[in-house]
Amino acid sequence: MFQLIWIIITGLVIGLLARLILRGPQRIPLWLTIVIGIIGALVGNIIASGLGVRHTGGFDWIRHILQVGVAAGLVVLITPVWLNRRSQRSSDHHRQYRSGL
């Protein structure tokens, strides 16, 4: 149970750091930020392992930079999809309301 809580906290921190380094507002919910952070952490770890820098002496700066970088890329990719999905759902709702459904 503690490991799940730690994964969520890590996802939140990495997701928020990713959003912080990007310019402008990212209109995505907090839960999606956490999911993006978790995925960024996992993919960043895989890349770091492939480069041979996952475990280094001291603080693993390169691994964490990779994690935040992957999460930032995901924020850039997912934000427009999320906004388009929300606006499309809103317009579908208005069409149904106007047609009396």
How much is the pLDDT for 54? 75
Per residue in 15-68, pLDDT tens?
999 999 998 888 899 999 999 999 999 999 999 999 988 777 788 889 999 999
- Quickly state the pLDDT bin for 76 (edges 50, 70, 90): very high
Give the C-alpha separation, 37 to 11, whole Å: 4
What's the predicted TM-score (pTM) here? 0.80
Angstrom distances, CA of residue 99 to CA of 45, 86, 94:
51, 20, 9
CB neighbours of residue 72 within 10 Å: 21
Examine the pLDDT at 96 and tell me if it is beyond 60. Answer: no
* Residue 73 belongs to domain spanning: 2-99
- Quickly state the pLDDT bin for 13 (edges 50, 70, 90): very high
Number of structural domains in the chain:
1
Give the C-alpha separation, 46 to 23, whole Å: 27
Of residues 73 and 98, which shows the higher confidence score? 73
> Helix/strand/coil (H, E, C) string of 41-91?
HHHHHHHHHHHCCCCCCCCCHHHHHHHHHHHHHHHHHHHHHHHHHHHHHHH
